[in-house]
């Protein structure tokens, strides 16, 4: 089976009923008859194309620069003035059409996959990404990332989007669920991949009885070091607020989703790049927060490489981020915020091509809730 639309016969029972409806609901379908095998490129699977827009089918797509009307452009392209063109902001798939070295992993619906790996399998690293392409908490060496799902990091992002500020779900360093979870005074063991509750739920003081409790890793309090500090500050802040005195020293801590210290901390008017234990990394700092924010990814990586026994040769700027232009094996390359080359240029007199802006916007500043 090749080009053209392939009809999938649905086992729909209610499908026929909703047929005359302008807004069909897929909830009545028993299911579609499997997923068709599409190809060759640009014949691709499109979700929800047939049977009331509920079943997938194969569709021939138009490539960048070709006439689109009335044919459909490849995912990630827009039909502009009759031609398939790159949209101003775009979806995850838009990266496919850009002349960049990194192509993210995308979902069929245009969202970024949760785990995004960069570089090479041996020396590369994987990161957790939000659906709209922002790097979020959680990273691992690619060679060790086979079980990385970022399910926990994605879950916390979702809860924050809903406006929850008191999230106490804990992740591991790679964005998976921690096996011991506590929230609202009760604790339980969780599956590290799905986050599903395993076994019984006990009051927090009884957490030692849980099979997933590890005294070395947890200590007496479930809250990790940064979380504990943040909790103590919150108590002081609440106390001070009743007296009307609020000071600079009581700014929120920037904690990772695993309860460790985040990339940077605020102290006496400055922001310093910090490691997971709150120790400062080099002298990387900013006084005034730059418009693009502060990420300390380069400063952090220098320590991350060191802890893993690797040599770190990249150049960081004073605020701890990667300098966009780097030399790599006699070549001049432009690197992204994570320090991975996305373009090669002739020499340092040439400017780096700009990256699509939207997917790289950082929102970590929600942590700095100055009261
Ligand atoms: C696509 O179909 C699935 C069921 O197969 C349904 O859950 C989903 O809401 C549909 N999406 C749209 C955009 O209609
Ligand atoms: C991934 O999970 C499988 C099954 O639980 C396990 O055997 C394997 O060691 C895990 N890999 C890593 C890198 O943790
Ligand atoms: C998940 O938990 C199981 C059982 O506690 C453990 O064997 C496995 O190594 C864990 N996997 C990861 C990726 O942490
Ligand atoms: C408990 O945690 C420590 C530190 O993270 C780790 O080295 C140790 O292997 C863990 N023990 C068990 C039984 O999982």
CA 160: distance to chain centroid?
A: 13
Q: What is the DSSP string of 55-95?
A: EEEEEEEEPTTSB-SSSEEPTT-EEETTEEE--SS--GGGG
CA 54 to ligand 1 centroid distance, Å: 5
- Ligand 4 atom 2, closest CA: 217
**Whose C-alpha lies nearest to ligand 2, atom 4?**
147
C-alpha 249/C-alpha 318 separation (Å) is 23
Is the beta carbon of 216 within 6 A of some atom in ligand 4?
yes
Q: How far is 18 from 12, CA to CA, in rounded Å?
A: 10
Structural domain includes residue 241: yes
Ligand nearest to the CA of 219: 4
Q: Report whether 50 contacts 8 (CB < 8 A).
A: yes
Residue 331 lies in a domain: yes
Cβ–ligand 3 distance for 265 under 6 Å, the answer: no
**Of the bound ligands, which one is closest to the alpha carbon of residue 180?**
3
Pocket test for ligand 4, best of 172, 189, 216 (most atoms within 8 A of CB): 216
Our answer on whether the CB atom of 143 is closer than 6 Å to any ligand 2 atom is no
Whole-angstrom distance, CA of residue 323 vs CA of residue 342: 13
| pLDDT tens, residue order, the chain (371 aa) | 333 333 333 333 333 333 344 445 676 667 777 778 998 988 988 877 777 778 888 989 999 999 998 788 888 888 999 999 888 777 888 888 887 888 899 987 788 999 999 999 888 999 999 998 889 999 999 999 999 999 999 999 998 888 777 777 889 999 999 999 987 788 899 999 889 999 899 998 898 899 998 877 776 566 677 887 777 777 777 777 777 665 666 677 888 998 889 999 988 888 999 999 899 999 999 988 777 778 999 999 999 999 999 999 999 999 999 999 999 888 999 999 999 998 899 888 889 988 776 543 333 332 232 22
Ligand 1: centre distance to CA 48 (Å): 6
Q: Whose CA is nearest to atom 14 of ligand 2?
A: 147
- 327 in any annotated domain: yes
Query: Distance between CA 149 and CA 138 in Å, rounded?
Result: 10
Give residue for tokens 């103590």: 232
Q: Of 222, 283, 274, which Cα lies nearest the Cα of 253? A: 274
For residues 358 and 360, what is the distance between their CA atoms, to the nearest angstrom? 5
Ligand nearest to the CA of 216: 4
β-sheet bridge partners, residue 334? 325, 343
Taking residue 210's Cβ as centre, other Cβ atoms within 10 Å add up to: 20
Tell me which residue range forms the domain holding 244.
232-371
The number of distinct structural domains making up the chain is 1
**Alpha-carbon distances of 146 from 115, 119, 142, rounded to whole Å:** 10, 15, 8
> Distance between CA 70 and CA 84 in Å, rounded?
11
Ligand 4 center to 146 CA (angstroms): 20
pLDDT in tens, 223-277: 677 887 777 777 777 777 777 665 666 677 888 998 889 999 988 888 999 999 8
Asked, for residue 140, whether it belongs to a domain, the answer is no
H helix or E strand, kind and range, residue 50: strand 43-50
Within-domain flag for 310 = yes
C-alpha 113 – ligand 2 centre gap (Å): 21
Strand partners, 332: 327, 345
57 lines ligand 3 (CB under 6 A): no
Asked, for residue 14, whether it belongs to a domain, the answer is no
Kindly state if the Cβ of 192 falls inside 6 Å of ligand 3.
yes
Does the residue 20 lie in any domain?
A: no
Structural domain includes residue 291: yes
Q: What is the pTM of this model?
A: 0.79
Number of H-type helices and E-type strands within the chain? 5, 17
Ligand 1, atom 2, lies closest to the CA of 54
Q: Is 25 in the pocket of ligand 1 (CB under 6 A)?
A: no
């Amino acid at each position: 089976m090749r080009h053209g639309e392939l009809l999938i016969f649905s086992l729909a029972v209610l499908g026929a009923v909703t047929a005359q409806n302008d807004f069909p609901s897929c909830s009545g379908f028993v299911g579609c008859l499997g997923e068709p095998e599409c190809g060759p490129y640009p014949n691709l699977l499109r979700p929800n194309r047939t049977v009331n827009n509920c079943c997938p089918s194969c569709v021939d797509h138009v490539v960048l620069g070709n006439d689109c009307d009335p044919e459909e452009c490849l995912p990630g392209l827009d039909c502009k003035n009759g031609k398939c063109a790159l949209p101003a902001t775009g979806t995850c798939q838009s990266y496919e059409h850009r002349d960049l070295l990194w192509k993210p992993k995308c979902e069929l619906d245009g969202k970024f996959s949760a785990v995004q790996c960069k570089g090479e399998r041996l020396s590369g690293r994987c990161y957790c990404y939000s659906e709209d392409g922002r790097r979020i908490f959680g990273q691992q060496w690619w060679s060790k990332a086979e079980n990385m799902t970022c399910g926990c990091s994605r879950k916390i992002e979702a809860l924050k989007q809903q406006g929850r500020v008191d999230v106490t779900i804990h992740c591991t360093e790679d964005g998976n669920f921690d096996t011991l979870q506590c929230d609202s005074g009760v604790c339980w063991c969780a599956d590290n991949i799905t986050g599903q509750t395993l076994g019984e739920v006990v009051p927090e003081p009884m957490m030692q009885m849980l099979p997933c409790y590890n005294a070395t890793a947890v200590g007496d309090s479930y809250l990790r070091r940064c979380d504990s500090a943040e909790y103590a500050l919150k108590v002081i802040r609440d106390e001070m607020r009743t007296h009307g005195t609020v000071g600079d020293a009581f700014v929120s801590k920037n904690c990772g989703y695993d309860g460790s210290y985040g990339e940077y901390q605020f102290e006496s008017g400055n922001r310093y790049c910090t490691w997971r234990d709150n120790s400062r990394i080099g002298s990387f700092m900013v006084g005034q927060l730059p418009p693009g924010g502060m990420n300390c990814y380069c400063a952090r990586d220098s320590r991350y490489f060191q802890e893993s026994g690797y040599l770190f040769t990249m150049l960081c700027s004073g605020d701890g981020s990667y300098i966009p232009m780097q030399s790599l094996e006699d070549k001049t390359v432009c690197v992204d915020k994570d320090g991975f080359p996305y373009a090669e240029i002739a020499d340092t007199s040439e400017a780096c091509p700009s990256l699509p802006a939207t997917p790289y916007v950082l929102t970590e500043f929600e942590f700095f809730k100055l009261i």
